[in-house]
Amino acid sequence: MVNKNEVHEIIIEDIGTEGQGIGHVDGEAVFVKDTLPGDTAIVKIIKAKKNMAYGRLEEIIKPSVNRVVPRCEVAKSCGGCTLQHMDYNAQLSYKWNKVRELLKRVGGISEPERIMEFVTPDGEVHFPQEYTGEEDVHHSPERLAYGLEEPYHYRNKMQFPVGLDKNGKAVLGFYAGRTHSIIPLTDCCIGHEVNRAVIKSIKEYIDKYKVSVYDEEKHTGLIRHVLTRVGFHTNELMVCLVINGDELPYADKLYDILTVNIEKYNKNSDDADIDFRSFMININNEKTNRILGFSSKVLRGEAYITDYIGDIVFRISPESFFQVNPEMTGKLYGKALEYAALKGGEKVWDMYCGIGTISLFLSQKAGRAYGVEVIPQAIEDAGNNAKLNGIDNTEFFVGKAEEVVPKLYAEDRVKYSADVVVVDPPRKGCDEKLLDTIREMAPDRIVYVSCDPATLARDIRYLTEHGYLLKKAAVYDQFSHGVHVETVCLLSKKV
Ligand code: SAH
């Protein structure tokens, strides 16, 4: 039994779902933030539960061979990137291995590496030949030394909280992991580089015009958050200030400051010029942790920016859900389309369809695409996106997939049949009721897009025990320096 306040020397062996290191004391798992597999660390137990404990890193006695100095100065305190202190190649090895181990252990797939491929952000595809051998990849990053440039600045959406520091001074930055104290920031190395110019402008504006900032406890003050979105394929920029009030004072002045700083940024950057398209406010007068309020207003330009995933165009407003790494998402959805192997005329279902990205992708090659999604606003976006792209062979349904699909299929087994089913569920994976209906629909192929390999493996086991074979799996490093990994799998009906 591990007790609170004890100090232990622990060898870290694994990484938890939130990026913390995991080691053991007397067979009990101890979760320690800021540690990596291979670290030997002095850890103070801060919380002890039945069979597990949380520890605070006191000192690293022997660092892991994969430990690196993070590029970002605030990597340790910021709750964003959880793996920046890990060598990038080791991050890739870790993600690859995680999917392989889960498919094997939980999914019941023997030698999954035979059917796996790995796609890194440079678009390169790596095949299992590079991973043969059974040595522990955590400790041998050189085996995966791809020599690729580390992916930074890939995120298209940022939300910076604005508030007061301990001394009552205005501060703009990031929440420290799991808390609401704001760490000041001048840059974020996974967000688009233009954010630097935006952060600088907002600070300048707040200081110069003495604009009040939000005090979470007292629920007073104006500026709560700054939301930025960039269209990575269109270079359009949206800046939206979330305010506790109805009007932004000196808005024209802020617009001018932003314009000047963005122009400067464009001049000094080798990348394509940023086009400041949309300057907005979002009104959130409630005492709530929710970032956005329910109404937005355009101050200058448009109420949206546009961007592409693959060759499908999307209109993105402050509230819209949109994939945060559209470049990798495009590649991943391209793989889903390849796995779907459509010849034309097929009926496809896109379960958990969000704003319909996959449905729209598939509809270009299919006869008809149905999408189902629980959030009404997302379904509205999906319909609008279909119109925007001149696509008329899609139909979207609002509701829980596990309720809507069984009902529709029971009503009309011909109309709502499926040649191919795609699922892209949230982390908890697919509801078993939905999997049962999919079995009844008996599509030739199931394409499983997953953001959590543990639930993916669980669902793969279920499907392989009920008439399907796992044919292929492709792993994507879509959230570099974070702990999450995306996988797309192809399952075929056994003949
Ligand atoms: N492919 C989508 C993203 C899918 S993310 C896109 O590109 O937009 C998973 C989606 O499942 C989310 O939009 C979430 O709202 C939705 N969801 C969660 N539980 C659901 C359920 N029980 N039934 C249907 N959709 C659900």
- 426-481, pLDDT tens digit by residue? 999 999 999 999 999 999 999 999 999 999 999 999 999 999 999 999 999 999 99
* Ligand 1 proximity of 424 Cβ (cutoff 6 Å): yes
432 in contact with ligand 1, CB cutoff 6 A: no
Of 322, 327, 351, 374, the residue with max ligand 1 atoms within 8 A of its CB, to mutate for a pocket test, comes to 374
25-29, 58-62, 147-151, 257-261: which range is least confident on average?
A: 147-151
CB 239 within 8 A of CB 223: no
Give, using CA atoms, the residue closest to atom 22 of ligand 1: 400
Question: Which residue do the tokens 């995933």 mark?
Answer: 309
Tokens (6 digits) for 382: 């999906």
Closest-CA residue to 481 (of 21, 101, 72):
72
Smallest CA separation from ligand 1 atom 3, residue: 354
* CA gap 289, 304 in Å, rounded: 24
Tell me the average pLDDT across 138-149.
Answer: 47
Distance CA 442, CA 418 (A): 7
Whole-number pLDDT of residue 130: 47
Q: Is the pLDDT of residue 128 over 60?
A: no
- Half-sphere exposure of residue 157: CA atoms within 13 angstroms, side-chain side: 15
Cα 333 to middle of ligand 1, angstroms? 15
Catalytic residues: 451
Question: Which residue, chain included where needed, has tokens 């001048």?
Answer: 186
Rounded distance, CA 371 to CA 394, Å? 8
**What value does the mean pLDDT take over residues 138-148?**
45
Share of the chain above pLDDT 90, in %: 79
For residue 401 and ligand 1, the question of a CB distance below 6 A is answered with yes
Q: Which numbered atom of ligand 1 lies nearest the CA of 426?
A: 9
H helices present in 106-140, as ranges? none
Q: Output 121 or 276, whichever has higher pLDDT.
A: 276
- Helices 401-411 and 432-441, axial angle in degrees (round to 10): 30
Q: Which two three-digit tokens encode residue 37?
A: 């597999």
Is any atom of ligand 1 closer than 6 Å to the C-beta of 244?
A: no
Q: Which residue has the higher pLDDT, 150 or 294?
A: 294
- In angstroms, what is the span from residue 453 Cα to ligand 1's centroid? 16
pLDDT computed for residue 370 by the predictor:
98
Q: Which span out of 133-137, 171-175, 342-346 was modeled with the highest average pLDDT? A: 342-346
Q: Is 190 in the pocket of ligand 1 (CB under 6 A)?
A: no
pLDDT, mean over the chain: 92
Give CA 357 to chain center in angstroms.
15
Q: Is pLDDT above 90 for 145?
A: no
Q: How confident is the model at residue 148 (pLDDT cuts 50, 70, 90)?
A: low
Least confident range of 112-116, 201-205, 267-271, 405-409: 112-116
489 Cβ inside 6 Å of ligand 1: no
Task: Give the pLDDT score at 127.
Answer: 65
405 lines ligand 1 (CB under 6 A): no
Residue 9: pLDDT above 70?
yes
Q: Does an H or E element contain 363, and which? A: helix 357-363
The more confidently predicted of residues 140 and 246 is: 246
Q: Which atom of ligand 1 is nearest to the CA of 431?
A: 22
State the pLDDT at residue 351.
Answer: 98
| 281-286-287-293 Cα dihedral, nearest 10 degrees | -50
> Looking at residue 138, what is its pLDDT?
41
Separation of CA 452 and ligand 1 centre (Å): 13
- Nearest CA residue ID for atom 6, ligand 1: 354
Residues 96, 102, 105, CA angle at the centre, nearest 5°? 135
CB 12 within 8 A of CB 64: yes
Any ligand 1 atom below 6 A from CB of 426: yes
Query: Is 410 strand, coil or helix?
Result: helix
Per-residue DSSP letter, 467 = T
**Of 375, 328, 331, the residue nearest 356 (C-alpha):** 375
Residues of the chain with pLDDT > 70, as a percent, come to: 95
Q: Give residues with Cβ within 8 angstroms of 295, minimum separation 6.
A: 282, 283
Q: Tokens for 34?
A: 């800021």
> Is the CB of residue 467 below 6 angstroms from any atom belonging to ligand 1?
no
pLDDT in tens, 185-198: 888 999 999 999 99
- Ligand 1 atom at shortest distance from the alpha carbon of 449: 1
What confidence category does residue 179 fall into, taking pLDDT thresholds of 50, 70 and 90? confident
pLDDT at residue number 147: 54
- The string of pLDDT tens digits covering residues 256-308 is 999 999 999 999 999 999 999 999 999 999 999 999 999 999 999 999 999 99
Reported confidence tier of residue 139, pLDDT bands at 50, 70, 90 = very low
Protein residue whose Cα sits closest to atom 10 of ligand 1? 352
Question: How much is the pLDDT for 258?
Answer: 98
Going by the DSSP 8-state scheme, the letter that residue 67 receives in this structure is B
- Closest-CA residue, ligand 1 atom 4, reads 354
Instruction: Say if ligand 1 is within 6 A of residue 355 CB.
Output: yes
371 lines ligand 1 (CB under 6 A): no
Place of tokens 């023997």: 110
Q: Are strands 170-175 and 157-164 parallel, antiparallel or unpaired?
A: antiparallel
- The residue whose C-alpha atom lies closest to atom 11 belonging to ligand 1 is 352
CB 486 near ligand 1, within 6 Å: no
Q: What is the pTM of this model?
A: 0.92
Q: What is the DSSP pairing of strand 468-476 with strand 347-351? A: unpaired
User: What mean pLDDT comes out for the span 116-122?
Assistant: 86
289, 296 Cβ separation under 8 angstroms: no
Distances (CA, A) of 314 to 215, 352, 384: 35, 18, 9
Burial of 225 (0-12, 13-18, 19+ CB in 10 A): buried
pLDDT score, position 134? 41
Pocket test for ligand 1, best of 307, 352, 360, 385 (most atoms within 8 A of CB): 352
Q: Give nearest CA residue, ligand 1 atom 23.
A: 400
Find out whether 103 and 488 touch, Cβ atoms under 8 Å. no
Give distance in angstroms: CA of 353 to centre of ligand 1. Answer: 5
* Per-residue pLDDT tens digits for 351-400: 999 999 999 999 999 999 999 999 999 999 999 999 999 999 999 999 99
DSSP string covering 359-396: HHHHHTTSSEEEEEES-HHHHHHHHHHHHHTT--SEEE
Q: Residue 117: which region, alpha, beta or left (left: phi > 0; alpha: psi -120 to 50)? A: beta
